[in-house]
Amino acid sequence: MALTPLIPQDRAPGDLQDAVVELMRLDAALYANTPQPLRLPMMNLLRKVNSYYSNKIEGNPTLPADVLGAQELSTDANANENLQEIKRHIEAQRRLTDDPIDEVEICTKGAISRMHREFYEGMPDEFLDIKLNEESETVRLVPGEFRERSVKIGNHVPPPPEDLGTYMNWFEGAYRLDRHHGIAPVLAAAAAHHRLMWIHPFMDGNGRTGRLFTDLYLKAAGLGGYGLWTMSRGFGRNVEAYYAALSVADHTRKGDLDGRGELSDSGLMMFTRYFIDTALDQVKYFSSLLEPRMLTQRIDIYFQQRQKSAFISGNGEVLPALRIEAREVYKALLYHGDKLRAEIQDLLKLNERTTRALLLQMEKEGLVKRDGRKPVSLNLSRHSIEFLFPSLW
C-alpha cells in the first residue's frame, strides 16, 4: 500500500502557497472582525447551514426554513425522516464541540469512528438498514463500526474490509497535526478529505463523516475563524463540481512522472486546488456578510421595516410592529455584549413597564435570550436571519 499523503509545501506551486497564506490571513481577519457577542450565535447558525449543505449533497431535500426549526423536532420515529437526519447532524456537531476530540487524536480510528457514531447513534432502525442491491438485500449498519463487506461506489472500488485497518493506520500517521507545520496543515486537510472518502471505511455515511472530519481538522489546524465559515456550503452549492474533483483525485497513477503511490499525484494536486479555492470563496463570502458597516446597515433597515409593520418573512407572514428602540437593544448586545435589564432601560430612557414589554416581544420572536435574572443576550431569530444574512442558503 502506498498513497501520496499530501502535496508537500516545498512542491506546492507558488500560487497555491500564496492561496493558502491568503486563506489563513482572511480566516484570522474574519474572526477578529466579528463582534465577540455575535460569534457564538453565528457558530450555532453555521451548524444548521453546515447540516443543510452536507445533507443536501447526499440527496436530502429539506428546505432551509425547516432546517432552522429542526432542533425543536420530535424524536418520534414517525417524524419526517429527512428532518431527523438534519437534527442528528446538528446534534452531532454540537456534541463534537462540547466534548472535543484532542487535536492530535483527530485522525485516529477511534476518533473517526466516534464522528460516524455521533451522527448515527439513536437513529430509527430504517436509517440503519442499508440496501445492498436491486433485490433489496440489506445489511444493518452499526454506528461507528467499519464495514465488513466490499463495496463499489460508481466507478470507485474502495479497499476491501480486511485492508481497512492498514489504511486507517496509514491515515492516522499521514495526517497527525503534530507532524505538519506552516501551511502544511491546510494542504493536509485537502488531501485527508479525499483520502478518507477514497478509503470509504463505513457501509454508509462516509460523506457526512468525512465532512465532519474536515470541519474538526481545519479548526485544529489553526484556522481559528472556522465555524464562522464552512466548507460544506462550498461543496454543497455545486455538488457536481465537488464530486468531479473527488473523482479526479481517485485516478490511478499515470506513469512514472505522476508520483509513486497508487493514485495520481496530478489528481491530488487538482483536488487540493479545488479545496483551497472553495475555502477561499467561503471565507470571502462570510467576511462580506459580517463586514461591520454593511451588517449595521442591514440591521437598521430590518428594524425600520419592523417599526412600520412592513416586514414580510420568507413564508409570507407579516410580522407585528416592533418599537424602534429594539434596534438599539440589538446593536448594544451585538457590539457590547450581554446587558442587565436595568442597563437596557437606562440605555433606552424608557420606563420599566415599556422596557419589559419590549424585551418580552423580542424574546418571543427569538431576537434576544433571557434567563431569569441573568443578563439579556443576543440571538438570531429565524426571520431576521433571512434578511441579515442574504444568500446564506
Domains of the chain plus CATH, in order, are 9-289 (1.10.3290.10), 292-388 (1.10.10.10)
| Per-residue pLDDT, 77 | 47
- pLDDT at 69 > cutoff 90: no
Q: What was the pLDDT predicted at 129?
A: 85
Grid cell in block for residue 75: 424524536
pLDDT score recorded for residue 241: 98
* Spatial contact of 263 and 250, defined as CB atoms under 8 Å apart: yes
200 counts as catalytic: yes
Catalytic residue among 116, 194, 200, 383: 200
**pLDDT at 314 exceeding the cut of 80:** no
Under 8 Å between Cβ of 312 and 318: yes
Of 147-156, 224-233, 297-306, the poorest mean pLDDT is in: 147-156
Which of 27, 26, 23, 5 is closest to 15 using CA atoms?
23
Query: What are 147's three cell numbers?
Result: 464495514
- Whole-structure pTM value: 0.93
**Does position 42 have pLDDT exceeding 90, yes or no?**
yes
Position 89: which residue type?
Answer: H
Q: What pLDDT, on the 0 to 100 scale, is given for residue 256?
A: 64
Nearest Cα to Cα of residue 358 among 384, 332, 386, 330: 330
pLDDT above 70 covers a percentage of the chain that reads: 95
**What confidence tens digit (pLDDT) does each residue in 103-132 have?**
999 999 999 999 999 999 888 888 888 887
> Which whole number is the average pLDDT over 71-89?
74
pLDDT grade, residue 154 (50/70/90)? confident
For 236-270, write each residue's pLDDT tens digit: 999 999 999 999 999 887 766 556 677 889 999 99
Q: Which residues are annotated as a binding site?
A: 204-211, 242-243
CA torsion, points 32, 36, 40, 42, in degrees to nearest 10? Answer: -60
Half-sphere exposure at residue 143, Cβ-oriented, CA atoms within 13 angstroms: 16
- Give 378's strand partners: 368
- Grid cell at residue 6: 499530501
State the average pLDDT for the chain: 93
Q: Which residues are annotated as a binding site for ATP?
A: 204-211, 242-243
C-alpha grid cell, residue 60:
436530502
Q: What percent of the chain has pLDDT over 90?
A: 81
- SS3 assignment, position 120: helix
**Interatomic CA distance for residues 313 and 391, integer angstroms:** 15
| Average pLDDT for 40-54 | 96
| pLDDT for the residue 261 | 72
What's the rounded Cα separation, in Å, for the pair 109 and 111? 6
Amino acid (1-letter code) at residue 267: G
Q: Give the integer Cα–Cα distance in Å for 229 and 239.
A: 18
**CA-angle at 52, arms to 46 and 56, nearest 5°:** 145
Is residue 51 within a helix (H) or strand (E), and if so which, with residue range?
A: helix 36-57
**C-alpha span between 229 and 5 (Å, rounded):** 26
pLDDT for the residue 257: 58
130 or 388: which carries more pLDDT confidence?
388
Q: Is the model's pLDDT at 144 over the cut of 70?
A: yes
Phi first, then psi, for residue 113 (nearest 5°) are -60, -40
pLDDT at 72 over 80: no
- With bands split at pLDDT 50, 70 and 90, how would you rate the model's confidence at 318? confident
- Whole-angstrom CA distances from 97 to 83, 91, 196, 375 are 21, 10, 21, 24
Q: Which residues of 318-329 are buried (b: 16+ CB within 10 A; e: fewer)?
A: ebeebbebbbeb
pLDDT tens digits for range 198-224: 999 999 999 999 999 999 999 999 999
> In the structure, what pLDDT confidence band is assigned to residue 135 with cuts at 50, 70 and 90?
low
